[in-house]
Amino acid sequence: MEADLLNLLKTVDTPTVCNAIEVAEGRRGFNRFTRGTMLSSDPTSGAMVGFARTARISALAPPTEPADVIKARRMDYYRHMSEGPRPALAVVEDIDYPNAIGAYWGEINTTVHKGLGLSGALTNGVMRDLGDLPDGFPVVAGSVGPSHGFVHVREIDTPVRIFGLDIHPGELVHADRHGALVIPAAVMPDLAEAIRKLLDTEHLVLGPAREPGFTFEKFEAAWAAFERART
């Protein structure tokens, strides 16, 4: 990914990217985004952007496989997270959802993932230690809880589902306190221009609305210009 596009994506929120994808595609109906309300470990941290490094975990019950298998898979998991193109996000499905209890994303695990070069984590599972998570590693999760349960890795480098969004390994994900989406590869060449066009189009209404003396007549004119310009 070009550095300029990455920097731009970090400065805009996920709803902006969601709309900009439709601008780039030239039509409404983009639907590769999460459903429902997710929680951010740091709502002020802005967006996280990266290629998905995926896995699936469980914590409700102890693992039934031999301990050496579980330990080996755990190390394979961290090896997987340390590899691949950057920027990268850990995208981890808790298969216990919606009854997830295992707070996989606490102080230790987030610090390890940050140290391995990941830019954040997206999960339908649980996070904790909210006052102690490292700066610069946001977590967008399904819930907050106190326990790690019997958390263990079940699968690595596999398709996952997070709040209704299917994500495949290596797909480009944009996420913040609003949720997450997958950026289609086909729109990448046009996405920066689409974001700028979207922001300019929104200003057709926002600019006049923020000025003193805003009236219905001014709104009507601004909205007409907005309707002509938007996707």
The burial of 139, by beta-carbon neighbours within 10 Å (0-12 exposed, 13-18 middle, 19 or more buried), is given as buried
Alpha-carbon distance 140 to 151, whole Å? 18
Q: How many CB atoms lie within 10 A of CB 7?
A: 11
What's the mean per-residue pLDDT of the chain? 98
Binding residues for substrate, as ranges, are 128
Q: Classify burial at 45, counting beta carbons within 10 Å of its beta carbon; exposed 0-12, middle 13-18, buried 19 or more.
A: middle
Alpha helices in the chain (DSSP H): 3-11, 14-25, 67-82, 107-115, 188-209, 216-229
- CATH assignment, 31-183: 3.50.30.40
Interacting residues of 144 by C-beta distance below 8 A, sequence separation 6+: 39, 103, 126, 127, 128, 130
Q: Where are the domains of the chain?
A: 31-183, 189-229
How far, in Å, CA of 6 to CA of 57, rounded? 29
28: DSSP letter: S
70: tokens are 């579980």
- As annotated, the binding site for Mg(2+) includes 129
Model confidence pLDDT, tens digit, residues 89-103: 999 999 999 999 999
Exposure letters 160-193 (e unless 16+ CB within 10 A, then b): bebbebebebebbbbbbbbbbbbbeeebeebbbe
Predicted confidence at residue 231, as pLDDT, reads 72
- pLDDT tens-digit series, residues 32-51: 999 999 999 999 999 999 99
Please say whether the beta carbons of 121 and 140 come within 8 A: yes
Model pLDDT for residues 41-89, shown as the tens digit of each residue:
999 999 999 999 999 999 999 999 999 999 999 999 999 999 999 999 9
pLDDT at site 1: 84
Query: What do you get for the CA distance between the two ends of the chain, in Å?
Result: 25
Which of 113, 96, 120 minimizes the C-alpha distance to 173? 120
Q: Is 31 helix (H, G, I), strand (E, B) or coil?
A: coil
Task: Give binding residues as ranges.
Answer: 128-129
CA distances for 26 relative to 102, 104, 126, 174, 217, angstroms: 42, 40, 37, 20, 29
